[in-house]
Structure 1
Amino acid sequence: MTKDELIQKLSDLEWEDFEVKSAKGEIPKDAWETVSAFSNTSGGWLIFGVKQTGKKFEIQGVNNPEKIEQDFLNSIRGGKFNVFVATRQAKHTIDGNTVLAFYIPVSKNKPVYYNSPANTFIRRGSSDHRATKEEIDSMYRDQTFGTKTSEIATGTSRADISDTSLSRYRDYMSRFNPTVSYNRYGETDFLQKLRIMDGEQCTLGGLLFLGKRDTIERFFPDFRIDLLEIPGTSYTNTKVRYTFRLDEYENLWEYYFECIARLKSKVDVEFKMGNEGFATDVSPGFDALREALVNMLMHSDHFSPACPRIRIFTNHIEFYNPDGMPKPIEELKGKDISLPRNPIVTKLFRVVKLAENAGYGLDNIEFNWKEYNNTQPVFDVDFDSVIIKFELEQKTTVKEKPEVGDSLEIVRSKWEEVRRNFGVIAERTQKSSEKNIADLRGVYGTFTEYMKLNFGETSEKLQENFGVNFGENEEKLRRKSSEKLMLMLLLIAIEKDIKATEASLILGVSTRTIETYISKLKDAQLIERHGSDKVGYWTIKKE
């Protein structure tokens, strides 16, 4: 019979993973390997009295079911294993043959082994494998699931928290969760109430999130979030290993902004004015990737020698998270179970509204990506890793040698790519002004084409009023004292809803200076205002 036919015969069992053994006259020795593997992975049914040959199953029955049942239960409860293994069992008679079924649940006290630690097994696919030392170490860490990063980072102090990261985090909270009570606390109470610090010392979770890299590496020697952009659909069909690799950054908060800026450029995003007066992105695809990123950062085993990794291929994006999940994925999706591996990190993301208040956000990831391009993310859950794969829509490539008459369309396409790559304005304010200005200078060429073809007279007015000529090269432009007027115009072209406070952080000048720039551009009839001061926006004038 087939697997489905066997399941139909044993219809009262809640089928998950299962393993069959013939066990006609006695308990086979490899049954203990399966008990260990099920206990250490996601649980499953061990069935005696069925022989498997390839994909076919033959019900043979057991000769002495009462004796085999008692021998099995006495062995797993009588000291053969290092911890008590609870089971539930069922007995079936099929065509006159007796079949015994034992359910082995996942244990809270992993690793589970028989006779010695060397006999620790895990389940991969439909077979049992001896666990490696690294996998056993991971199981010992799982015994403290949800508590390890809540411990004190011994020997640390407030000096080990990055002032820049803390300031950016508080600023982000005030923008995107202005009513939360933490905004009103002074620094000491803020750090204590969010458990970034416990007394005079940092918690491990607080250190990971906002600490200085040198200190983080004392406790997490392999600390890194990896992001690679690979010019192919796999490593086998590309000549170079990657075209971009993320640099090292201070902590999880800084890594988040660097990763999200790269991910945002891979999906289509529209912009909309939020209730708080800030421009926000509207894209289910971006929401799915952001949720996946935050999920990865919150639930990674940061003590593992493997680091969280994002690989961006030309046709898909993969999020790799070291270590597995605390429960089967279907249970986590179906019941909104909240079992964070790193509770402090999780809370710090949640109070700035970058994560869901319950569960792992898996349903949201699936729903939003399906809404975006009608494909489902693929979850590959293993004992010691989780991979989420997002298929990307095929994008049409811009022709290197455009035909006559389609140059305007190509320039607009290139400009939209610039807007996507620049990222969310609110997130840009978390970067240094030097980095932002360098990025803006890097798109002078595209902006020049865009302005010439779409705003010819405006280009002339900019030269006439401020000596800024779009025909000049980048080096000449950056030497001009009025360069930041052009950068302000460029920011308006990228995001018409931009606020003076946001522009000031991006360009590294005061809000009063930004208002002066806007006033000069307006007086020269280069830009115009639509709507009120509170919810309106600027546009570049076409005539």
Structure 2
Amino acid sequence: MDATELNPILKRGENISVEFKRCGVQPEMDTFETVCSFNNRFGGSIYLGVLNDGTVEGVDRGQAIAIERNLVNVVGNPKLFNVAPAIETERIEYDGKLVIRVWVPAGPAVVSFKHVIYDRVADVDRRITSETQIAQMHIRKQNHFSEQRVYRYLKPSDFRFDLLPRVRKMAALKTPGHPWAEMDDMELMRSADLYGVNYDTGEEGFNLAAVMLLGKDEVISRIAPAYKTDVIVRRENLDRYDDRLIVTTNLIEAQAQISEFAKWYLPDRFMLEGDQTVSPRDIIIRELVSNLMIHREFVSPYPAKFLILNDGIHTENASKAIFQGQLAITSFKPVSKNPFIAKFFRNIGLADELGSGMRNLYKYSKPYSGKDPVLDDGDVFEAFVPVRWVEGGTAEGDATIRDETARDPNETVHDLHEQENDPDETVNGLHEQENEQVNDPHEQEYEQVQAPSREQLILDLIRENPAITYHGAADILNVSYSTVRRGFQALRESGTIERIGSDRRGTWRILTPSQPSHE
């Protein structure tokens, strides 16, 4: 914001989302009462260095850093605020004077300051003491969707519009003749409610839902810096992890990456549904991952988690709950927490109607593991689906169920620091994930024909870098993680290569006919 934009705000004066405050060495306590009331209502901006009548007095430039630091320290003090409200500060030059703007978004929870709840009424911060009024504030919070927050200065260049052709194709596969197929990019964004007007604020532009679904990675990291999904396998190395994937990209590619990663580590079993063969594992993964993508509170600093442990799959994500406790299939009443994102996922076939996810988890968990899932809602939504691990290629206690993905004990464990140093070293994205999932009856024949050239490329990579990882090779060869891993395993089984040292820090060695393997 600059002086030109600030000037009409000063002329209009204080209102439900604008407050002027004089500020000396540090903000007064009534500043934080306004922070509390803005959080509890629709959000707003506090202008430090401005008198009640709109006259700009300015703040001492030498105290600017101390003022900003004091704001952060006070809102983060649990003795003062029961829940830390989000704030952002901005310095504005106006007629040679410095104004500090403190932006407070509407938060997902009712906040109190010094054990007092404040609400914004017109241009007044009002104390709320009545139980009825407090209950109404909680109800109002249920109707606030952070995904609808508009960012006026976002441009089309801030988005991955290169994903839209694939989005159109997925929508057409889900619904033949889908109208998105004939729309240009901006028409599609408007149709999906990713660009429009926020009628709470009157602002027009791209919203948070658009950022999370299609934003470039650097845009997402600036608007939602705490957003990430931590995918961890912890079955053997209980002190740390066996493998880990940290996903911070857009929701469409994140859904594909997490699903592919989970499918690699979870046993697959098939069941007959009428005359069709279905995979309970794939359906369970789809529902759990889609829930992490759709029904999370993106303004929360709590990271989403997808954990594969010895007892099963655990997921956690920040939630805007209207119910506290364990969910029951017989009494569950679904409520959309991000309706724009949910609608987008339904249009492209990554989710079904509201409530279907829970029904599918109950329907397919029993044939997959013999047990029901456990779902707990609250400030953090937690889901647990048991897994019956397999030995010798068949499920324990069920010789009729076929397992497709027994875990390889020799698989390289990927170190977190190694992955952080190479941000591209992750499971490949949407394009390869779809290619991997297609159940092509000629796939095995095709790979037998192509294997020698792929294996030769892998040997060349090992000659150049004996410490190369599966992910690194997949990135260079532009193939999926699972494909390159099969190539490495074929070379090991044929006695062409061996692993020297530990899985994490070891290297590969190419064997000659006269060299025995030490594995």
Alignment TM-score, normalising by the size of structure 2: 0.49
Higher Cα Rg, which structure: 1
Which structure has greater strand proportion? Answer: 2
Question: Whose helix proportion is higher, 1 or 2?
Answer: 1
TM-score (normalizing by structure 1): 0.47
